[in-house]
């Protein structure tokens, strides 16, 4: 069984980013991370993103706002960042507290700076298969890790467990772009094991520790685990029972060290792409 290592895909992205930065002639793109409150998940993602940007030679700044910020105040500050000529890309950490209207906020962000693909314009582009748009970084990270290991997708059956707007849904669209045949499963799916066993490529993005076992995996399939869960002992784990799954799969991603390690590298690539476009448009 081959372990699909996120670090391999991230290193490949780093090489591409370094080449493209040279072509930008010394311009260093800037990422603005917006965080509301102090949720441990957000803090950990922010730390990961900051260190990745630094490693790739990119600039990043954090904007941490109070958990009880009003919608009006949030909108004012967020628009300022979106319109800031020195900011090339934005990452908004979500979910947001209930007083903030996410639908409205998605419409405030400049689509050209919307690195995690939350604006209606980018959502539509991903839906239509227009590669010009920014897809959510985690969904794209799944495709990137498969491409790094030259896993063929064309004509293959991809089964995704999870239909969230952040992972499952956009990933279904990205698999379609790669000419895979796609099934999306969720909590109302009737026989999850049977659906999963049909997969040439099985992706789990449910957020349930160990819910995918050996019975869900066809012999020789490729298993990609997007889930990030914490065990009662405080250990990080995915949705897949790695031992059981690796007994059947030909290739599988670990957690940690799999998809999560690629997500911030994709974010960095999106930042460079955003800066390249702004340069073309004479905005930097």
Q: How far is the CB of 202 from ligand NDP (least distance, A)?
A: 12
Kindly tell me which of 156 and 163 has the beta carbon lying closer to ligand NDP: 163
Q: How far is the CB of 283 from ligand NDP (least distance, A)?
A: 29
**Which secondary structure element, helix H or strand E, spans residue 162, and what is its range?**
none
Distance CA 134, CA 214 (A): 34
Kindly tell me which of 10 and 166 has the beta carbon lying closer to ligand NDP: 166
Helix, strand, coil fractions of the chain, as percent rounded to 5:
45, 15, 40
3-state secondary structure at position 128: helix
Distance CA 26, CA 47 (A): 25
End-to-end CA distance of the chain: 47
Q: Which of 14, 82, 138, 183 binds ligand NDP (CB under 6 A)?
A: 138
Kindly tell me which of 31 and 226 has the beta carbon lying closer to ligand NDP: 226
Distance CA 146, CA 130 (A): 20
Q: Does 6 bind ligand NDP (CB under 6 A)?
A: no
Annotated binding residue 218 = no
Q: Does 257 bind ligand NDP (CB under 6 A)?
A: no
Kindly tell me which of 15 and 188 has the beta carbon lying closer to ligand NDP: 188
Interaction residues for ligand NDP, span 141-170 (CB under 6 A): 161-164, 166-168
Annotated binding residue 162 = yes
Q: How far is the CB of 133 from ligand NDP (least distance, A)?
A: 19
Q: Which of 263, 268, 269, 270 binds ligand NDP (CB under 6 A)?
A: 263
Give me the phi and psi of 134, to 5 degrees please: -90, 120
**Residue of 274, 264, 265, 268 lying closest to 85 (CA atoms):** 274
Q: Which of 187, 235, 243, 283 binds ligand NDP (CB under 6 A)?
A: 187
DSSP string, 26-81: T---EEEEEEES--HHHHHHHHHHHHHHHHTT-EEEEEEE-TT--HHHHHHHHHHH
Q: Does 58 bind ligand NDP (CB under 6 A)?
A: no
Distance CA 279, CA 102 (A): 29
Q: Which of 93, 115, 202, 205 binds ligand NDP (CB under 6 A)?
A: 205
Kindly tell me which of 21 and 199 has the beta carbon lying closer to ligand NDP: 199
Binding site residues, ligand NDP, CB under 6 A: 138, 161-164, 166-168, 185-189, 192, 205-208, 211, 226-229, 259-260, 263
> Which residues participate in the annotated binding site for NADP(+)?
162-164, 228
């Amino acid at each position: 069984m081959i372990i699909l290592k996120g670090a391999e895909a991230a290193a490949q992205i780093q090489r591409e980013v370094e080449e493209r930065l040279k072509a930008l002639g010394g311009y260093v793109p800037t990422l603005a991370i917006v965080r509301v409150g102090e949720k441990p998940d957000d803090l950990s993602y922010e730390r990961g993103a900051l260190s990745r940007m630094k490693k790739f030679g990119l600039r990043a700044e954090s904007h941490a706002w109070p958990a009880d910020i009003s919608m009006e105040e949030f909108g004012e500050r967020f628009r300022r960042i979106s319109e800031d000529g020195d900011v090339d890309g934005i990452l908004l950490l979500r979910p947001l507290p209930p007083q903030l209207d996410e639908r409205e906020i998605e419409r405030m962000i400049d689509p050209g700076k919307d690195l995690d693909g939350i604006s209606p314009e980018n959502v539509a582009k991903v839906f239509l298969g227009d590669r010009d748009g920014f897809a959510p970084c985690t969904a794209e990270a799944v495709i990137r890790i498969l491409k790094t290991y030259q896993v063929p997708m064309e004509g293959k059956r991809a089964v995704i467990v999870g239909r969230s707007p952040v992972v499952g849904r956009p990933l279904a669209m990205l698999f379609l772009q790669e000419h895979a045949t796609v099934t999306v499963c969720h909590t109302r799916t009737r026989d999850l094991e049977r659906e999963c066993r049909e997969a040439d490529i099985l992706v789990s993005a449910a957020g349930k520790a160990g819910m995918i076992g050996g019975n869900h995996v066809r012999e020789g399939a490729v298993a990609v685990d997007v889930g990030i869960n914490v065990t009662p002992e405080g250990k990080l784990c995915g949705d897949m029972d790695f031992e059981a799954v690796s007994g059947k799969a030909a290739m599988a991603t670990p957690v940690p060290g799999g998809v999560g390690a690629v997500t911030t590298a994709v974010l960095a690539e999106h930042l460079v792409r955003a800066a390249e476009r702004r340069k073309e448009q004479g905005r930097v």
